[in-house]
Structure 1
């Protein structure tokens, strides 16, 4: 029997049952961190009502988590280098459980928002570090499988979030959307330390880039709040949104200048010098943003205009994860044998084709007419995400893997937030525009005289208005799906701009 290859730190890769448990722990960590990005989306109204605040104030439950998470994700590389990837991961996991308990016990909006901020701060590093540590513990010949496992939890968790949130709010108290994290986080932290502490990397005592950290908090915080609150405040007609956009723009420029000239930057932007990485990230931002926009619009459309409950809307969108999980092993195998760029092109093109299919919906669609395209879409997901991760991280130097992974997750999170705001705002604008056009077509000379109408005529007019609204919504939905299909096709083609990855991402790449 051949001798097992050692990892860079001299340790043997995990095998058998220990590898399975460690992989499960890391996958669960990533899963709950991503899940909490969407689990509260369908619960805002319930939480707001229970705490005696408005729905607009209730959206801070989402915004506070997103802002805190977006800030800590790109810091992962620096944190891992200074304190050790395993220590940061275990600490983040334990803090995530504690902050989830605080959220569940909250009796006011202020306490809940504070808990969500802590949850976001601790959840941010879990995503890139779970990826880095999976690559560290898996044998070199199974690195693609590790990437596939991580990618599937990243893609499936946002889909399941609305389901879990909807079911809990319908069947139990809203606090359980946070309480369910507590045992998972604490148990995973305990197992992770026992299994992974011997795989800790050497520490780098680099100085703290306090200026870079401050600029990061300012521009990311301002941008995230602007994206989340823009629709509620009517975008740039609000002086608050204008001020936030100016702060974000100035902060971003200052951050870029500082980080590119700082000897020990808190975010290593120099990884973008690798063309393969830059192209991969560009493709990721376009494709994931478009995919996330689809995920956000579908349950909104189903709940607001198709008569679906939150639970059923979530269960409908969940079909996209079924074939994704089944196809993930094949994507992992093929990514070791075929140019990853070809797989990314095929996967994203598949998503574009299904989005085009969905752009011809009707207002009387049955459940399976809606669910079937979502089921089929799942085939393309692993062929997009798994090889794209390998292509991007395989284009940077081994010592840059943690920083590169953190930046990828940061930009993916930002793309999702931007896509959410842009897709929903565009959808609502198109509904209003389509409604106006349909009403004009129904009554081109605007000669309907409402004064003196009988009840029967008013009822008929109301019925026509409802019909116009239903058709305008369906038209708007189809139009957005068509735009998303075009964006996905552009993203598929963009992967060919960069060169093929210079190396395979394996256990030795983790930092």
Structure 2
């Protein structure tokens, strides 16, 4: 019998590759746009196409497993992901690249929940916490590694290599899984194709994801296109829920929400991940846009949160096996809230280490959030429902990250404008004109410097406000999981034994 830890490493590596591809292309868009002779806003479709396709396919995991089997679906998805990675790297036009990115997203979507499902099947109950710790480590490190790898690769080689680096990983994962997971195949049945449910899923998720991706660039609901996308997403979602709850063989099993543990875990996961992921996006934007950091150095700031995440993941995996996972989750999310309060002390004068330390400390709390909430959610459902529940959990994580990013960036931009207006009202222009004259600067030059100073302060103050709100929401989120029942088979809340 195969060593479960060898299988665990292969599955974690698979998950790492898929999550990495969500963020690695972000910093390469300017290179891609220049190479293909397209506008930068057209280049963002490289990101949007992947995220939309992935978001649509993740909740279909349960249906795919029922029809084709867990291992077979995983192997086909991994093989397809590798093939489309090659085609992405070979793309010579925007149309070809977007089409291949859609293929990547379709194949990559089921891989995240399937790796969770297979880990639950391969490891005995007493070892599942440690296995999930390994899986969580890749989930929290990959979004950080994406920008760190994408920038240098695009700068020093070419953007094609951000896709080619997937090839050896895909080969290792496919070969390793083929020889070690064949005995873990699940029974299949002739699950009918829910055409109506799939069509509605494509419509509402596609409309919502596109709206979230381009909303800020089109001034949100000031744009008729954004209004139309919102209406389509809302109506499509309502129709989808009604259809799936009344269908005899739904494509997405929404009935798992009858389990209180799963529902409350999903709510906790969505809120916490939205805050965590939006901070990953907004902080580098501020560092590069207002603080003069390069993309590489802003990545060096954020990357510190991966250090303790790697160290803590196996520790947390053992911890959830000897104490109530809800306690570990609450402690971890509360710790994350405290690191947000540390960021709320930032200013335009902050140095590198004052930026890096909160990220370093955040890494302690991240596995304490990911591992327990995953275990609580999947332990709450029936064994046959695990693949579908894992798919819905990852779907919620994907959408909450998109929601959090859109809300945070909009709040940051709008807040900066408001702070700028307030600061401008309390400045005495005559005093600065006198200082300009004394320094030998023209009034126009002085006004430009003053505007730059005020705008920089506005962005910093707005960011501080966002971190304050984030801390408050995280403290609230830390309590949600206690509305879920204690997971079956876990130690009592009073502690280990």
The alignment's TM-score, normalised by the length of structure 2, stands at 0.95
Distance 1:205 1:385 in 2: 34
Instruction: State which of 18, 24, 28 in structure 2 corresponds to 1:39.
Output: 24
Q: Is the 8 A contact 1:275 1:499 kept in 2?
A: yes
The structural deviation recorded for 1:456 is: 2.1
Partner of 1:9: none
Distance 1:498 1:94 in 2: 38
The structural deviation recorded for 1:179 is: 0.7
The structural deviation recorded for 1:461 is: 1.8
Instruction: State which of 460, 484, 487 in structure 1 corresponds to 2:473.
Output: 487
Partner of 2:115: 130
Partner of 2:448: 462
Partner of 1:147: 132
Partner of 2:205: 220
Instruction: State which of 269, 276, 282 in structure 2 corresponds to 1:297.
Output: 282
Instruction: State which of 389, 397, 422 in structure 1 corresponds to 2:382.
Output: 397
Matches within 5 A, 1:403-482: 403-443=388-428, 456-482=442-468
Partner of 2:13: 28
Partner of 2:495: none
Partner of 2:181: 196
The structural deviation recorded for 1:492 is: 0.6
Q: Is 2:377 the partner of 1:377? A: no
Q: Bigger shift: 439-448 or 341-350?
A: 439-448
The structural deviation recorded for 1:197 is: 1.4
Instruction: State which of 479, 485, 490 in structure 2 corresponds to 1:499.
Output: 485
Q: Is the 8 A contact 1:39 1:177 kept in 2?
A: yes
Partner of 2:494: none
The structural deviation recorded for 1:402 is: 0.8
The structural deviation recorded for 1:321 is: 1.0
Q: Is 2:339 the partner of 1:357? A: no
Matches within 5 A, 1:8-407: 14-15=2-3, 19-407=4-392
The structural deviation recorded for 1:459 is: 1.9
Unaligned runs of at least 5 residues, structure 1? 1-11, 506-511
The structural deviation recorded for 1:152 is: 1.2
The structural deviation recorded for 1:139 is: 3.0
Cα 1:131–1:504 shift into 2, 3 Å:
farther
The structural deviation recorded for 1:256 is: 0.2
Q: Bigger shift: 390-399 or 456-465?
A: 456-465
SS of corresponding position for 1:202: coil
The structural deviation recorded for 1:502 is: 2.7
The structural deviation recorded for 1:455 is: 5.3
Cα 1:446–1:404 shift into 2, 3 Å:
farther
Distance 2:407 2:429 in 1: 32
Q: Is the 8 A contact 2:264 2:480 kept in 1?
A: yes
SS of corresponding position for 2:381: coil
Per-residue CA distance 1:102-146 (angstroms, 9 max, x = gap): 111111111110010000000001100011111211233211111
Per-residue CA distance 1:296-319 (angstroms, 9 max, x = gap): 111111111222211221121111
CA RMSD of aligned residues (A): 1.9
Per-residue CA distance 1:342-380 (angstroms, 9 max, x = gap): 111100000011101111101121111100110011111
SS of corresponding position for 1:267: coil
Q: Is the 8 A contact 2:86 2:164 kept in 1?
A: yes
The structural deviation recorded for 1:504 is: 5.3
Q: Is the 8 A contact 2:325 2:490 kept in 1?
A: no
Distance 2:340 2:189 in 1: 46
The structural deviation recorded for 1:497 is: 1.8
Distance 1:211 1:493 in 2: 38
The alignment's TM-score, normalised by the length of structure 1, stands at 0.92
Q: Is the 8 A contact 1:435 1:472 kept in 2?
A: yes
Q: Is the 8 A contact 1:163 1:313 kept in 2?
A: no
SS of corresponding position for 1:378: helix
Cα 1:447–1:329 shift into 2, 3 Å:
closer
Distance 1:445 1:481 in 2: 35
Distance 1:396 1:140 in 2: 15
Q: Is the 8 A contact 2:433 2:443 kept in 1?
A: no
The structural deviation recorded for 1:503 is: 4.0
SS of corresponding position for 1:289: helix
Distance 1:477 1:359 in 2: 8
The structural deviation recorded for 1:80 is: 0.9
Cα 1:379–1:261 shift into 2, 3 Å:
same
The structural deviation recorded for 1:31 is: 0.3
Q: Bigger shift: 274-283 or 303-312?
A: 303-312
SS of corresponding position for 1:203: coil
Distance 2:34 2:159 in 1: 11
The structural deviation recorded for 1:336 is: 1.1
SS of corresponding position for 1:306: coil
Q: Is the 8 A contact 2:432 2:446 kept in 1?
A: no
Q: Is the 8 A contact 2:324 2:490 kept in 1?
A: no
Distance 1:141 1:340 in 2: 13
Cα 1:447–1:334 shift into 2, 3 Å:
closer
